[in-house]
Amino acid sequence: MIPAAFEYHRPKDIAGAIALLEEHGDDARVLAGGHSLIPMMKLRMAEVPHLIDLQDIAGLNGIEVAGGLVTIGAMTTQADIISHGVLAEAAPILREAALQIADPQVRYMGTVGGNVANGDPGNDMPGLMQCLDASYTLVGPEGERTVSARDFYEAAYTTDRADDEVLTSVSFAAPIGGYAYVKQKRKIGDYATAAAAVQLSKDGGTCSAASIAMTNLSDTPVWSEAAGAALTGTSVDGAAIKAAVEAMLGDIDPTEDNRGPVAFKRHVAGIVLSRAIERAWSRA
C-alpha cells in the first residue's frame, strides 16, 4: 500500500520542529521510528500532509541513570533499552518488557517517545510507565512542562499532548524491589491480548508497596491503584493475589475484537497478573 502524498520536513532543532507544528496545525505529525505512523498512513487510516522527522534533532537520544533518576530520550529505541547494561541494572522491568515488543526489526526502529506518545492501547510502554510512575517532558511554543504518565492518556489515540508539543523524554525514579512484565499474545510480533506490569517491595515477609498497570484491556492503559493496595501489607499469599486480581478486574473495560471476546480477555488479564505478581514477589 502506498500512502497519500506528503511533504517531508527534517528540522535541525526542537524550535524548528515546533515552528513547523504551529505552522501546519492538524496537517502535521512528527515522525520518530515510523513503525506505528507509517503503517497507519499506508493503510490510509491517517493522512498526514506534513511529516516532521525528528531524527536530526540533537538531545533526543540516550539513557541517563544518575542520582536514582532514570531519564530516557524520546528517540531512544527499544533495541537501545535492551542493550543498555546500566539501565538493565537500574530498572530491569524495562528490558523485560522491551524484549516482548514486536520483533527485533521493529525494535531497532521503534522509539520510547513514539511508543508512549502514540496513544494506542496496545502499546506496551504506556502501562509500564504508569507502573513506574514516570513523568513525560513535553516542549511546545509555551516552553517545557511535565505530565505524569498516569494522567497522560485520555482515550484511544487521545492524550494530554497538544498538537504543537513534542515529547522529549520520559523519566522516573529507579524502582526498588521485585518486578515483572508478563504479556500474553497470539504469536511473536503481536500486540498484547493482555499484559501486566508489576513492581513491588518486600519488607521482611510483607509487601510494603506495590504498583500494577495493565495493557490493552481498556481504551487507555490502566494503572490499578486498588490492585496494588490489595497486595500492600500482605504476605502476597494466594488470597492476596486473588484480591489484587479482583480489584484489577474492577478497573479494566476490555472490548471484543480479533484477540477474543470480553470474557476471554478478562480471564487472560487475571492469569497474566497472577503470574506477574508471583514472579515479582519471587524477585523482591
Ligand X SMILES: Cc1cc2nc3c(=O)[nH]c(=O)nc-3n(C[C@H](O)[C@H](O)[C@H](O)COP(=O)(O)OP(=O)(O)OC[C@H]3O[C@@H](n4cnc5c(N)ncnc54)[C@H](O)[C@@H]3O)c2cc1C
Judged by the rule CB under 6 A, the positions of this chain that interact with ligand X are 29-37, 39, 54, 74, 101-102, 106, 109-111, 113-115, 117-118, 123-125, 166-167, 189, 191
Instruction: State the nearest-atom distance from the C-beta of 102 to ligand X, in Å.
Output: 3
Instruction: State the nearest-atom distance from the C-beta of 52 to ligand X, in Å.
Output: 8
Residue 140 or residue 226: which is nearer to ligand X going by CB? 140
Angle (nearest 5°) at CA 176 between 174 and 179: 100
Instruction: State the nearest-atom distance from the C-beta of 93 to ligand X, in Å.
Output: 14
Alpha-carbon span 88 to 79, nearest angstrom: 12
Q: Which amino acid is at 169?
A: S
Residue 81 or residue 207: which is nearer to ligand X going by CB? 81
Instruction: State the nearest-atom distance from the C-beta of 109 to ligand X, in Å.
Output: 6
Instruction: State the nearest-atom distance from the C-beta of 227 to ligand X, in Å.
Output: 21
Instruction: State the nearest-atom distance from the C-beta of 34 to ligand X, in Å.
Output: 4
Residue carrying C-alpha cell 520520559? 170
Instruction: State the nearest-atom distance from the C-beta of 281 to ligand X, in Å.
Output: 25
Residue 54 or residue 241: which is nearer to ligand X going by CB? 54
Residues 282, 178: contact at Cβ < 8 Å? yes
Residues 213, 127: contact at Cβ < 8 Å? yes
Query: What is the CB-side half-sphere exposure of residue 165 using CA atoms within 13 A?
Result: 19
The CA–CA distances, whole Å, from 52 to 27, 90, 175 equal: 11, 33, 34
Please spell the DSSP secondary structure of 198-219, one letter per residue.
EEEEEETTEEEEEEEEEESSSS
Angle (nearest 5°) at CA 185 between 224 and 128: 35
Task: State which residue has the least CB distance to ligand X.
Answer: 114
Residue 76 or residue 245: which is nearer to ligand X going by CB? 76
Strand ordering across the sheet containing 192-203: 178-185, 192-203, 206-215, 222-223
Q: Which three cell numbers stand for residue 144?
A: 517545557
Residue 106 or residue 243: which is nearer to ligand X going by CB? 106
Residues 277, 236: contact at Cβ < 8 Å? yes
User: Collapsing DSSP states into helix, strand and coil, what is residue 90?
Assistant: helix
Residue 182 or residue 236: which is nearer to ligand X going by CB? 182
> Which of 229, 203, 174, 184 is CA-nearest to residue 281?
203
Residue 74 or residue 200: which is nearer to ligand X going by CB? 74
Residue 114 or residue 175: which is nearer to ligand X going by CB? 114
Instruction: State the nearest-atom distance from the C-beta of 57 to ligand X, in Å.
Output: 9
